[in-house]
Amino acid sequence: MGKSKVLVVGGTGYIGRKIVKASLAEGHETYVLQRPEIGLDIEKLQTLLWFKRQGARLLEGSFNDPKSLVDAVKQVDVVICTMSGVHFRSHNLLLQLKLVDAIKEAGNVKRFLPSEFGMDPALMGHALEPGRVTFDEKMVVRKAIEEANIPFTYVIANCFGGYFAGNLSQLERLTPPKDKVFLYGDGNVKVVYMDEDDIAAYTIKAIDDPRTLNKTLYIRPPDNILTQSELIQKWETLSRKKLQKISISADDFLASMKGLDLAGQVGVGHFYHIFYEGCLTNFEIGEGGEEASKLYPQVEYTRMEEYLKIYV
């Protein structure tokens, strides 16, 4: 069988760019949806044109024009959506329902990967307000996919290194702190930290794999299952600097939500589930799931000591 033709929706975004590059690198005929809504956003246009120079094809389509979405979908075998679901950028998860309708109408798609790439929403029914909206909306999209009998793979990528590793898991910054670091509780809850290029590589490996059909793919390679304390220790070894550790209790951390804007409250809630509750690692992968590094041992994933070197 030949490699599937892939359409990436949200290809100019943070993880979308990585998915497009990985798809091209694996030799897939790769398409990126070009939405007229980008208007005068020159950076998005430049990204699209860069993809075109690398061999990707641009397909015009708008969520305000159902026919254009159907026409785009009809040209490919696999659709990967990477639209943002984080409140400090843009939160567009339910727009995917229009994409689900287009895929259903087109009737030719062999696999749909909706915008997930974080925690498993199926395990987050207890999530705190207001951050639970992310998981609730992802479950709405899942329900629509499954009711439409669209073949799917859900990708659970856990913590993006750019948002959780380079900053030693500190809120409101993206680079390592210089003097002191806040520990969530005792800092010993297991977390999964990932290089974004590796997330993309595993995702593309899965699209033609029958083992991941109608399943959840958990990207949870063993060497990247670390506690926050272990991550900090790796940074201290690399930087040759000791940081002052300040522990924050769960109650104090949740209390910090008061007075924050919506995006801040969502962030605190999500961090609570990850670093106090251990929601990324406190379960076994069941029959409906597969673990990416076991399926694709040929992917040489980046360990966090290597990932952190760029910050030194």
| End-to-end Cα distance, the chain | 45
158-179 per-residue burial string, b: 16 or more CB within 10 A, e: under 16 = bbbbeebbbbbbbeeeeebeee
- Annotated catalytic residue 234: no
Query: CA nearest 123: which of 294, 291, 262, 281?
Result: 281
What single-letter amino acid sits at 199?
I
The active-site residue out of 18, 21, 138, 215 is 138
Active-site residue set: 138
